[in-house]
Structure 1
Amino acid sequence: MTAGTLGAVALVATLVAASSSEAQETPSDTAAPSSTSSAERSGAAAPDVALVSTPDARRAAAQEQAADRRAAAEAAKAAEEAEAAARAEAKAAAKAAAKAKAEAERQARLAEITPGEQGEHVARMQERLRQLGYQVTSADGVYGAETWQAVVAFQKVAGLGRDAVVGPATQKALDDGVVPVSRYGGTGIEVDLGRQVLLVVENGKVIRTFNAASGNGESYEALGAQYVAHTPSGSFAVYRQVDGIRESSLDLGSMYRPKYFTGAIAVHGSPSIPAYPASHGCIRVSNTAMDWIWSWGASVGTPVHVY
């Protein structure tokens, strides 16, 4: 009895074990799916999440593009403004340079004293000429004919251009006090043909300097004869004088208060004394200069040196 019962129990255990083994070998309908998805099994690729466009992404992209356009526009505007500023600066610089040049030219003109001017600056120039012995009767502040003669005589002595304009070079020579020096000393008249000036010398010192014009060296005809406008050089003396107007014996014009020193050659006054040789041989000076020479003396016997 006991043995039969044990056998039955063993049989039941065997049947149960066999049933469990079959159940494990047969998959159930509710078993967990494989790690391979249905999409992979069907051959389709999984969607790329980065390529998915959403409203927020599109809006952000649009905003970024708008910002880029604004930045580009601002940069272009800044470049245009910089270029306009550079043009304006260049224009302003050119205008300033032109203004400075015009002012410099104006100052240069103001620094020049020309015939016909009037004012204190003319009077100062005249007074300086007087101090240096160039003939200016009065420092009246009017640049007239007598002052012209004095300025030209000064420019001749200083070796400057004979334009009668008192510019920087002439003014410097005035400041430096340029005066001629007597070659012969003593007392008398000296005529410097090279510089075309007449000097009145007293005790070896030049006390007056006048603009003068001597013979121009050209040929001319008078009363049917041919002559050369020549002024002889050498040491002479006044041998004759006429206190009035003397007509040339060769019909060459009038001579104002002439003082003859050799032949028909005289120092005399004339209304025309240019800055260059222009006479037929005589020594021309202005009428006011001749009046001064008569008032000084230059009587008969006064030495006249021409060189």
Structure 2
Amino acid sequence: MNMQIARRATVVAMAAGLGITAAAPAFAETTVPAPKELANAAVGPTVPVPQEARRGESDPVVKRAQQIMAKFGIPAGPADGITGQQTRQGLCAFRRISGLPVNRYSLNTETYRKLVEYDNKYSRLNQIGVSSFQGKSTFVHVQQACQTMFYVKDKKVQRVLPVSTGVRGHETPFGYYTLANTTRGWYCSTLYPESCRKQTTGEFAYISNFGNMYNPRQVVGAIFVHGSTSVPTYPASHGCIRVTVNDSDWLYHNVDRMPIFITGKY
């Protein structure tokens, strides 16, 4: 299996160097734009139509959507009624969970209807069921369109975490891999050792040839899931999957070695 992974990583690297775009694996999700909403769409008496608020203006419908996502632990920023990048990230994650077309669009009627439905139907995140992935009922899924990680156990969503994957030219590879066990503590890059040594979180620190990584867990080759002090809502790494330091600790305590699927494109 390791030989197959190494061979695949080599092929992907060679293709990237030649400017060839590799096709997504068969099990990868298809990111489909949401259908355009009709201006006069009937949404029922209890579901208001989300309106595009003016820049910086709070929208009560957006605020309600943010509150519902917060109830389920879906990171979507403050419940202020303003659609920022964190809210778009949260909406994308919710669409993935609820089976809607996956995209980072603003709140629309279809998504708001589904949020209200889930708010009435479920009291917490781990009651929400999802389908298995490649026959696996317990797995980690990284959806790059959303820049979000999902931990699913026995087909129930347990946790939704914001991530930051690889920038253009250093893309995080699509595929099905095995998330390795955690190597505890900070690993400091030989390029930026001082910035890492100043961290107060973690049990110890090592010097490595990779970037600054907290609790690194290998995915394939030089690609790791690891904690970072910088996890923006967009791709920013050199291929690794960044999570927050706190989420990295949570993964260490709650998620063992298991399948990890990486799909989608930002």
TM-score, normalised relative to structure 1: 0.44
Query: Whose Rg is larger?
Result: 1
Q: Answer 1 or 2: which has greater helix percent.
A: 1
TM-score, normalised relative to structure 2: 0.49
Higher relative contact order (CA 8 A, sep 6+): 2
